[in-house]
Amino acid sequence: MSKLRRYEILLPRKFNNEQRVPDDLISKTLRELEHRFGAVSWETQIIQGAWQRQGEHFRDELFRVFVDVEDRPEHRKFFRSYKEQLKTRFKQLEIWMTTYLIDVI
């Protein structure tokens, strides 16, 4: 079996100005990932976070989206670019995206 890599994205439920993110933006993102990779998963629990930037305090409500794909350079390149799209789409200063190797049994 080829090596697999999981990409995890924390997507906001609220914009930085506390307005709720429209469900269609979230649905669009999930559909794009499913269309490109054939599958996408997400958790419905809310992840809460707090952070500071240049003296300003922010509170986040996030949910986790993940995609398992072959560990290939073109996938990493896609996700690096996609992160920038998501920052614009969700009007975020940053989108937290992590990746790690997985072993599916």
pLDDT digits (tens, 9 = 90+) for 53-80: 889 888 899 999 999 999 999 999 999 9
Query: What whole-number percentage of the chain has pLDDT above 90?
Result: 79
Torsion of the alpha carbons at 20, 44, 2 and 31, rounded to the nearest 10: -50
Determine if the pTM surpasses 0.95.
no
The pLDDT, as a whole number, for residue 57 is 86
CATH number of 4-92: 3.30.70
**pLDDT of 11 higher than 90:** yes
Q: Distances from the Cα of 97 to the Cαs of 9, 65, 86, in angstroms? A: 4, 9, 10
Q: What is the mean pLDDT of residues 42-62?
A: 90
**d(Cα 102, Cα 16) in Å, to the nearest integer?**
32
